[in-house]
Amino acid sequence: MGSNSWMLQDVAEFVDEEKGRVISMACDEELIVVGESGWNGEAWVYDIKTGELKFKLQCNNLGDTPAPFSHDNIMVWLGKSIIVTVGTNDNTLSVWDRSGTMLAQDLHKDKEKIAEMKRIKAMEDDDLKAYVDEKTSGMSEEEKYGFSMTFAFGIVENKKKLISMTVKDDLIYGGFDGGFFMIGNTDGEWKIIKEVMLDYEVVEIEVAGNWIAIGKVNEDGKKIFSLWNPEKEEMVEDLKVDLKRFRSCKFIYPYIFIIGGRRDADNTGVEIWNVEKGEMVRHLLKEEKEYEFISTNGKFLAVCEHISSWTSGEEHMLKLAVYNVDQLIDQDIPEESLWSQSYEYSTLNLGGEHIRAVLNDKYLIVNHGRSKFSIKEITQE
């Protein structure tokens, strides 16, 4: 099983000179969706077969916000019939069809408060000043400044501010401080179809086989998970493993693959745990590199190296590594006998880009340059 049983063959390279800084990425058999990091607040959608840019999605509402405060990271997901985006700056959650038409936006926010903010921002200067003076009477200067800034930047209090999110089929799960909600289409209307209130902050939500894994940080600073049964609509089990404060994870149930780490945790490589047994299967690439992005199609796993700064001007070679999942979870195969394929990309060719790689059933799609995507077919030798 440890032999080189697969090959990754280059089948296409797409070039888009206008592509922005890619921070997130998703794909299926038809589309590639990338979320930008920068001031545009956009996601770009490409045809996976031709590399053609199909359309752009405006994923936040920061058009009137001054540039220093409008920088945003756009997160993206693909469902069966939808594209889902989140602008992390103003917590804008948008649902789109696969033609780029918006179906819903900010269902997790208070519509009345948003409408009131729009009304206030539309006031004439004298009326706005009178309103602010009335509301800030008796406040300190610091409190007055903070109150004024809420209108300058259109800040609306949101009790369901997104902390974590995932998409399964066409159902959206969003975690906040105090629980999580589900957004779906009921009789042609997109809406929050269920809220589950919890006594903790939901810091992770991940698809875990037939379940949804709901994660929190316990008193010891460890991440722990419970399982939500979508069919019975109930919590069914607390998993037996306490994990470090990792950066990102993927489940292939009953296994979890985690990268990165905070505080004194080892942030190198990929830790693989059996969450039902509470046992570590292996620590892949231990003490080698830190990774910041992880993707899987259930059969293969791809990890992309972390880079902490773009300011030095020195060349760094960033690693992308691909492994076979069945081999990774087989403890009888030593690490040196695992099949793997690795690539390195120079930061001098990235122009501020991050390495991002996602998988569908047949292909590995890699964002690796100022303007380039590569499509690699996974074949068995």
SS3 347: helix
Contacts 24+ apart (CB under 8 A), 115-123: 117/151, 117/154, 117/156, 120/151, 121/151, 121/154
HSE of 274, CA atoms in CB hemisphere, 13 A: 9
Q: Are 378 and 8 in contact (CB under 8 A)?
A: yes
SS3 372: strand
* The pair of three-digit structure tokens given for residue 334, joined into one six-digit string: 């030593």
Q: pLDDT tens across 103-140, in order?
A: 999 999 988 877 777 787 778 888 888 888 888 888 88
SS3 172: strand
* The pair of three-digit structure tokens given for residue 171, joined into one six-digit string: 């159902």
Q: Are 34 and 367 in contact (CB under 8 A)?
A: yes
Distance (Å, whole) CA 351 – CA 347: 7
Q: pLDDT tens across 16-55, in order?
A: 988 878 999 999 999 999 999 999 999 999 999 999 999 9
The helix (H) or strand (E) run that includes residue 164 is strand 164-168
- For the entire predicted model, the pTM comes to 0.90
| Residues ≥6 apart with Cβ < 8 Å to 112 | none
Distance (Å, whole) CA 41 – CA 287: 36
Q: Give the max Cα distance, the chain.
A: 75
Helix spans in 141-235 (H): 141-152
Distance (Å, whole) CA 161 – CA 303: 28
Would you call 187 exposed, middle or buried from its count of C-beta atoms within 10 A (0-12, 13-18, 19+)?
exposed
Q: Which residues lie across from 301 on neighbouring strands?
A: 296, 323
* The pair of three-digit structure tokens given for residue 308, joined into one six-digit string: 């902490």
Alpha carbon of 182 to those of 112, 173, 186, 197: distances in Å?
A: 21, 5, 12, 12
Q: Which residues lie across from 257 on neighbouring strands?
A: 250, 272
Whether the ω angle into residue 254 lies within 30 degrees of 0, i.e. cis, is yes
CA angle 75, 80, 82 (to 5 degrees): 50
Q: Are 274 and 285 in contact (CB under 8 A)?
A: no
CA nearest to 252, candidates 232, 275, 270, 233: 275
Distance (Å, whole) CA 90 – CA 77: 18
CA nearest to 182, candidates 160, 199, 201, 200: 160
SS3 227: strand
Full pLDDT tens readout for the chain, 381 residues: 445 689 999 999 999 988 878 999 999 999 999 999 999 999 999 999 999 999 999 999 888 777 778 899 999 999 999 999 999 999 999 999 999 999 999 999 988 877 777 787 778 888 888 888 888 888 888 888 877 777 666 667 788 999 999 999 999 999 999 999 999 999 999 999 999 999 999 999 999 999 999 999 999 999 999 999 999 999 988 898 999 999 999 999 999 999 999 877 899 999 999 999 999 999 999 999 999 999 999 999 999 999 875 546 677 889 999 999 999 999 999 999 999 999 999 887 776 778 999 999 999 999 988 888 999 999 998
SS3 48: coil
Distance (Å, whole) CA 324 – CA 340: 7
